[in-house]
Structure 1
């Protein structure tokens, strides 16, 4: 399970409308029949128009400054193993989203009118997407770039030869292009992976847009708060503040497992990925002590994610350990998304 929480954009002034973001989330519906489209939904409504989402978010921004986000985006991306556990992808993901948002509100160390925050206190809209596309920042695109650059150069030369501005053989260049296409390190269905290509397999995930202000438009609720949980005296009164990210990330995993009867492997847990960074010796020790079947599945999952595997590190080989650890951290970059908040 990979969860990210980001403000509407990073740096500078924030857009005064959510229209661009909502429009982006509508991209998969283009050209589809009405019955095939995925609609926005929330805790109680099944079908909400994009226009209504924009209106509700944009009108719920009282007293927010230009340099403050008007909304936050939560992306919930179940793994391929988790998706296989679902019986009905669309309905199960909606059900799960509604439980995730209960975990979200319970992770705030805040009160409204002297009571804990309730699901009815937030304004959010969610949408399920079924496709993902390779981006320029993906490892596959970056590592294929040298081949892409050479192929583009050869194609330009072919065009120049066709125009008569360059002498040479078109067929030789085309053969070289074909060779490079197959030699690129990252392929999908026999084709070089390029930016914008749709990713194979079940890519279903959830986008959630949640207003910075509560449903009454009176209180600011920021999951980007730097405070985990604390009490502070303001205007002579003690006030609770903070958002517990660790609690949120852990609870959404428990909620999925409880809801769908999922048996989570050690390496799939948020806590394990966190331990990998903060306490690698403990991480590898726990990995190696798993029962045979669980360890075999753990290693299979890590290999599928292209994450190198290393046994517990002898203390007397400190330099070798550091070198290996840096390589492992690089390989785990994508997996660690579930432990980050983009602020």
Structure 2
């Protein structure tokens, strides 16, 4: 599970309207029949019109300054292993979203009228998407770029020959292009991976638009608060403040596991991510101490994420500092790219 929580910006400023973001989330519906479309939904309603989403989010901003976020985006990216556990992607992910938003609400260390924040205080709209395209920042696109540059140059040369601006054999240049197309290191279905190409396989994920203000438009609930969950004294009173992201991510994972009966491997758990960041040696020691079958699955997960595991020692005694540093670099890259499902 890879989850991000971000304030929506347009350039260097916070978006003053959700219209552009909502329109962006409508991209998969283009050209589809009505019964094939995915609609926005919230905790209790489904098939919510896009105009209603924009109207409700944009109107729920009382007393927020121009330099403050008006709404946040939560993106939930289940791993391919987690998606395999689902029977019906859309139905199951909608159910999970509604359970997840309960976890989101309970992660606020805030009170409204003397009671804890609940999901009924959260104004949000969510949508399931089933497609992803390769971005320019993806490893596959970046490592294919030298070949893309050569191919582009050859295509420009062909155009010049066709226009009589230079001499040469178009067939030879086309043969070179075909060669570079085949030599590119990253292919999908026999074609060179390029920016904008749709990714194969199950790519289902969740987008959630969350208002900064609560349902009554009177209380600010910011998951981007600079304060961690804490109690402070203000004007002689103890006041709760902050949002516990660590708790939210941990709850999100446990909720998925309990909802769908998913048996999570250590290598894809939120616990392992924290272990890796705080103490890599504990991370690798725990990894190597897993039962044989679980360790094999962990290695497979890490290998699929691009982590160099060929030189991983067979036991704890062989766990040398040099090996830890070597693997640490690979795992750091995988975590940054979100390719390890944690």
Query: TM-score normalised to the size of structure 2?
Result: 0.94
Superposed, 1:109-258 pairs within 5 Å as 109-258=109-258
* 1:279 matched residue in structure 2: 279
- Following superposition, the deviation at residue 271 of structure 1 comes to 1.3
1: CA distance, partners of 2:275 / 2:336: 14
Question: Are 2:305 and 1:302 equivalent residues in the alignment?
Answer: no
Higher relative contact order (CA 8 A, sep 6+): 1
Q: CA RMSD in A?
A: 1.9
1: CA distance, partners of 2:129 / 2:319: 49
Cα gap change, 1:56/1:337 in structure 2, threshold over 3 Å: closer, same or farther? farther
SS at match of 1:17: coil
For residues 259-286 of structure 1, give each alpha carbon's deviation from its aligned partner in whole angstroms, at most 9, with x where no partner exists. 1111111111011022222211111111
* 1:334 matched residue in structure 2: 337
Contact 2:307-2:330 within 8 A present in 1 as well: no
- Following superposition, the deviation at residue 321 of structure 1 comes to 4.6
SS at match of 1:212: strand
Cα gap change, 1:324/1:256 in structure 2, threshold over 3 Å: closer, same or farther? closer
2: CA distance, partners of 1:73 / 1:320: 38
* 1:105 matched residue in structure 2: 105
2: CA distance, partners of 1:289 / 1:89: 34
Q: Gapped runs of 5+ residues in structure 2?
A: none
* 1:322 matched residue in structure 2: 325
For residues 36-85 of structure 1, give each alpha carbon's deviation from its aligned partner in whole angstroms, at most 9, with x where no partner exists. 00000000001100000000000000111111110000001111111111
1: CA distance, partners of 2:291 / 2:321: 28
Cα gap change, 1:320/1:82 in structure 2, threshold over 3 Å: closer, same or farther? closer
SS at match of 1:213: strand
2: CA distance, partners of 1:230 / 1:178: 61
Contact 2:72-2:209 within 8 A present in 1 as well: yes
- Following superposition, the deviation at residue 11 of structure 1 comes to 6.6
Aligned pairs, number: 339
Contact 1:308-1:331 within 8 A present in 2 as well: no
* 1:262 matched residue in structure 2: 262
SS at match of 1:75: strand
Contact 2:126-2:209 within 8 A present in 1 as well: yes
- Following superposition, the deviation at residue 328 of structure 1 comes to 3.5
Contact 1:307-1:332 within 8 A present in 2 as well: no
Question: Are 2:109 and 1:82 equivalent residues in the alignment?
Answer: no
- Following superposition, the deviation at residue 235 of structure 1 comes to 3.8
2: CA distance, partners of 1:315 / 1:305: 23
1: CA distance, partners of 2:318 / 2:200: 42
SS at match of 1:210: strand
Q: Gapped runs of 5+ residues in structure 1?
A: none
- Following superposition, the deviation at residue 104 of structure 1 comes to 0.2
SS at match of 1:333: helix
SS at match of 2:255: helix
- Following superposition, the deviation at residue 222 of structure 1 comes to 0.6
Contact 2:232-2:238 within 8 A present in 1 as well: yes
Contact 1:2-1:338 within 8 A present in 2 as well: yes
Contact 1:232-1:239 within 8 A present in 2 as well: yes
- Higher mean alpha-carbon deviation, 270-279 vs 50-59, is at 270-279
- Following superposition, the deviation at residue 314 of structure 1 comes to 7.7
For residues 237-273 of structure 1, give each alpha carbon's deviation from its aligned partner in whole angstroms, at most 9, with x where no partner exists. 3210011111111111110110111111111101102
1: CA distance, partners of 2:10 / 2:224: 12
For residues 279-314 of structure 1, give each alpha carbon's deviation from its aligned partner in whole angstroms, at most 9, with x where no partner exists. 111111111111111111111111112122234788
